[in-house]
């Protein structure tokens, strides 16, 4: 949403809802509106993501840049005047890209834009070559006979569809997550997938595989969507199509990075926590501007807007810059492991990790008694164009490991129509972020964090929420 639209909507808001007045004090509501207006007059933390993507750039978990990013974050949050800033260790296996080269060798030579999929093994030096066998999707590959696949290079051609909520990603990404494992069982020598992205620009889309420790998997790469089109056209010519692929990549067993956490200490209930998250790591090919520099910017901006108030909130607010999200939610896992015994004090978790598009809806997983508080918060978000959504929410990827422990979570759902044009590609760069859209996001997170911290009741994280869900 553009600022003039937001301003027009603000003008329409003459009176606050009467329900909100019952739950929150007039002072707290006035502060929420002040936060919202101030956020909209600024750039949403664009300076933060600009600095991160310029000084650090790509920051694959476990790389040299990971450590520089953690130091950058600690320094930034300390300089901004948060009451406490600390690091919590996160240990994970790493993977690093050497290079990837994929080319058609028959019936004609054609060089493909390709990226190895994260945790792809290297090919033998000199690469592998084989005839291509094409499948519509992972399910079709799963039904294939070994004799049709053995010794060949599997090509999975499924296309991701564009949607505001990004719902095209889940079905399509199965090819990336599991293709190299399934194809290994069938005796293939390599796997190529159409990129799991919506762009027709010639960028390949990387991302992780999903495998068990020690499970055999093949060298695997994604090719750009125009190259996948070209491969389909070459196959349609009717002659055998052969591919050569060479991948160089390394992995290590364990690297220790850190979640970086900053606290605005609550004035009345310092032990109770509203947790805003984003992840600090990125894939190695773009500069991680949309994924997830934007999230880092949004929650940092929300935090410093609240820091600038004349008062501290009732509860504490934590910003969590998660480590190693991209390669397996390791920061989220470590945080859940370290904190789940304290979830009764966690008011909520909410992560910004879907680019910089405007937020259009709020959803939440809270106990029944707290839902009216979410409704009251939504009324303060309404002028930002944010509607009330469902009572299903995930909180974002890094809070997924906390869901089984009953963490109450809020989703501020962003318009992701164009997100998968850039996500996990070389093209995820700063110019793809609109500061006005970033400001709308920061306004929403500031209002959410503030009102959640001032809420008359807790959201029920931990045993209470789990018990209520069991009873439903």
Q: Which residues bind a second copy (CB under 8 A)?
A: 50, 53-57, 107-110, 113, 200-203, 225-226, 229-230, 233-234, 237, 286-287, 426-427, 429-432
Which of 137, 136, 130, 127 lies closest to 152, judged by CA?
130
Residues shown for the chain: 472
CB of 233 to a second copy, least distance (A): 5
Q: Which is nearer to a second copy, 107 or 456 (CB)?
A: 107
CB of 229 to a second copy, least distance (A): 6
Q: Which is nearer to a second copy, 150 or 200 (CB)?
A: 200
Q: Which is nearer to a second copy, 86 or 99 (CB)?
A: 99
CB of 16 to a second copy, least distance (A): 41
Q: Which is nearer to a second copy, 68 or 340 (CB)?
A: 68
Question: How many Cα atoms sit within 13 Å of 34 on the Cβ side?
Answer: 12
- Neighbouring C-beta atoms of residue 341, cutoff 10 Å: 10
CB of 68 to a second copy, least distance (A): 8
CB of 427 to a second copy, least distance (A): 5
CB of 152 to a second copy, least distance (A): 21
Q: Which is nearer to a second copy, 365 or 424 (CB)?
A: 424
Q: Which is nearer to a second copy, 114 or 274 (CB)?
A: 114
Q: Which is nearer to a second copy, 167 or 200 (CB)?
A: 200
Q: Which is nearer to a second copy, 196 or 231 (CB)?
A: 231
Question: What is the end-to-end Cα distance of the chain in Å, rounded?
Answer: 37
Q: Which is nearer to a second copy, 172 or 374 (CB)?
A: 172
CB of 46 to a second copy, least distance (A): 12
Q: Tell me the C-alpha to C-alpha distance, in Å, between residue 385 and each of 2, 376, 434.
A: 11, 15, 17
Dihedral pair phi/psi, residue 170, rounded to 5°: -55, -50
CB of 136 to a second copy, least distance (A): 20
Tokens encoding 311: 């008062």
CB of 185 to a second copy, least distance (A): 33
- Neighbouring C-beta atoms of residue 108, cutoff 10 Å: 10
């Amino acid at each position: 949403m553009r600022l003039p639209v937001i301003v027009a909507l603000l003008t329409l808001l003459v009176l606050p809802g009467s329900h909100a007045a019952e739950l929150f004090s007039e002072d707290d509501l006035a502060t929420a509106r002040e936060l919202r207006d101030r956020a909209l007059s600024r750039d949403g933390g664009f300076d933060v993501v600009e600095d991160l993507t310029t000084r650090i750039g790509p920051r694959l978990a476990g790389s040299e840049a990971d450590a520089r990013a953690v130091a950058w974050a600690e320094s930034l949050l300390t300089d901004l005047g948060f009451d406490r800033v600390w690091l919590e260790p996160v240990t994970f296996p790493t993977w690093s890209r050497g290079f990837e080269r994929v080319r058609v060798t028959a019936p004609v030579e054609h060089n493909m834009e390709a990226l190895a999929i994260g945790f792809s093994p290297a090919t033998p030096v000199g690469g592998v070559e084989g005839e291509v066998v094409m499948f519509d999707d992972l399910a079709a590959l799963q039904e294939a006979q070994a004799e049709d696949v053995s010794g060949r290079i599997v090509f999975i051609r499924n296309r991701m569809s564009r949607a505001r909520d990004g719902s095209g990603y889940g079905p399509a990404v199965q090819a990336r997550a599991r293709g190299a494992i399934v194809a290994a069982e069938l005796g293939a020598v390599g796997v190529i997938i159409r990129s799991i992205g919506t762009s027709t620009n010639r960028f390949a889309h990387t991302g992780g595989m999903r495998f068990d420790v020690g499970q055999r998997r093949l060298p695997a790469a994604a090719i750009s969507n125009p190259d996948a089109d070209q491969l389909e056209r070459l196959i349609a010519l009717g002659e055998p199509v052969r591919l050569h692929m060479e991948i160089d990549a390394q992995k290590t067993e364990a690297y220790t990075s850190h979640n970086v956490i900053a606290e605005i200490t609550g004035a009345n209930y310092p032990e109770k926590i509203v947790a805003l998250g984003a992840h600090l790591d990125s894939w190695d090919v773009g500069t991680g501007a949309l994924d997830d520099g934007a999230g880092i910017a949004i929650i940092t901006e929300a935090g410093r807007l609240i820091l600038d108030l004349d008062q501290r909130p009732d509860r504490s607010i934590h910003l969590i810059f998660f480590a190693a999200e991209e390669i397996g939610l390791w920061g989220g896992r470590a945080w859940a492991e370290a904190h789940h015994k304290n979830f009764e004090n966690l008011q909520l978790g909410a992560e910004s990790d879907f680019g910089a598009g405007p937020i259009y809806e709020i959803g939440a997983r809270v106990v029944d008694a707290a839902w009216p508080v979410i409704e009251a918060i939504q009324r303060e978000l309404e002028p930002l164009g944010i509607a009330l959504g469902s009572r299903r929410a995930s909180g974002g990827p890094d809070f997924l490991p906390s869901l089984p422990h009953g963490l109450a979570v809020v989703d501020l759902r962003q318009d992701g129509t164009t997100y998968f044009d850039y996500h996990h590609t070389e093209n995820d760069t700063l110019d793809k972020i609109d500061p006005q859209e970033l400001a709308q996001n920061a306004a929403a997170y500031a209002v959410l964090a503030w009102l959640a911290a001032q809420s008359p009741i807790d959201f029920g994280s931990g045993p209470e929420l789990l018990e209520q869900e069991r009873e439903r």
